[in-house]
Amino acid sequence: MDNRILLTGASGFVGGALFKNIELSSNVEVSVAVRSKSSEFKHLNCWIVDFASFSDISEVLKRQDVVVHTAAVAHNKKIRISSDFEHINTRATLRLAQQAAECGVKRFIFVSSIGVNGNISSKPFTELDIPKPSETYAESKWRAEQGLWEIQESTGMEIVIIRPPLVYGPNAPGNFATLTRWVEKGIPLPLGAVNNRRSYIAIDNLVDFITTCIDHPLAANETFLIADGEDISTTHLLHKVANAMDKPSRLIPVPERLLTLGATMLGKRDMARRLLGSLQVDISKARQLLGWQPTISLEEGLKRCFK
């Protein structure tokens, strides 16, 4: 790897982990684009960028070979209005990519979401499946993807799109944080008989894959679905989380249909789908085209969450 890289969202969960990884590479010049100053980046080329205002950062982009775009408004944050997702996740992404192409950036890597494929699968999702985003967050990511391919076609800048499922790791936000809080507090959960299959990805594996895509020639102009390669049930996941935390798993075996009914009556149907439904990812393309393999197992990834 010998590139000048601009990383957006370096203060976030995925971007922060990626920054720590690529900073260790002696032949990479990394710059970061963040919303506010931080002592963590004081020794780097750190640019304060407000993507929401569609800032012109051409002077920054002219110095870059690759842009890795992890900055986004996430579905688990307080901003839930469709226009907010559209403004940041779609239009700001495309504005950045267009500027990057005009400034001669060779490759633009976009961290999207498996939600673009859908939030429930009857069989493992692949890159060939027709996208069916069902939430505003995923829809904004899908529109960004479509726009990126238009930019690629008109400018020739290489595009790489990565769609991960739920990402877990130390201090992970969102749904994983909620699950771990339940286990840590010893709350009895009626999830002891869930027979679904779900894919997850450890932050270490996601970071390794993004790093691979920075300069792998065969990653150019491709979309990848990526995960740990180990699909387990929600029940099994909670047992593993409890074991990694050295806590008892207090799981009560309640039939799934009763859980679904109860969640629907409480207005928590979407949460029930995430906990009870299946969502599997086929990572064959990443393995076969790029020769990539997950660097750690799901069990090891969970252990690293709580060390």
Reported as a pLDDT band with limits 50, 70 and 90, residue 41 is low
| CA pair distance 193, 260, nearest whole angstrom | 13
Q: Give yes or no for residue 75 having a pLDDT over 70.
A: no
Given pLDDT bands bounded at 50, 70 and 90, which one contains residue 233?
very high
pLDDT interval class at 244 (50, 70, 90): very high
pLDDT in tens, 162-181: 999 999 999 898 888 988 99
* pLDDT above 70 as % of the chain: 89
| pLDDT (0 to 100) of residue 126 | 97
22-38 average pLDDT score: 71
Number of other CB atoms surrounding residue 254 within 10 Å: 15
Q: Is 137 a catalytic residue?
A: yes
The answer to which of 26-40, 175-189, 219-233, 262-276 has the lowest mean pLDDT is 26-40
11 against 237, higher pLDDT: 237
Residues 92-115 pLDDT 10s: 999 999 999 999 999 999 999 999
Architecture per CATH, 3-168+200-229+280-295: 3-Layer(aba) Sandwich (3.40)
Is residue 274 scored above 90 in pLDDT? no
Q: What percentage of the chain reaches a pLDDT higher than 90? A: 63
Q: Which of 13, 19, 125, 137 is catalytic?
A: 137
pLDDT value for 235: 95
For residue 304, name the pLDDT band (cuts at 50, 70, 90): very high
Residue 238 is predicted with a pLDDT of 94
Q: In the chain, what are the domain boundaries?
A: 3-168+200-229+280-295, 174-196+232-276
Closest by Cα among 83, 95, 86, 88 to 71: 88
- 269: Cβ–Cβ under 8 A, 6 or more apart, which residues? 260, 263
Is there a contact between 270 and 212 (Cβ–Cβ < 8 Å)? Answer: no
Task: Give the integer Cα–Cα distance in Å for 172 and 164.
Answer: 14
For residue 21, name the pLDDT band (cuts at 50, 70, 90). confident
Which pTM was predicted? Answer: 0.92
State the DSSP H helix or E strand holding residue 202, giving kind and residue range, or none if neither.
strand 200-202
Distances (CA, A) of 246 to 172, 225, 239, 242, 303: 18, 32, 10, 6, 10
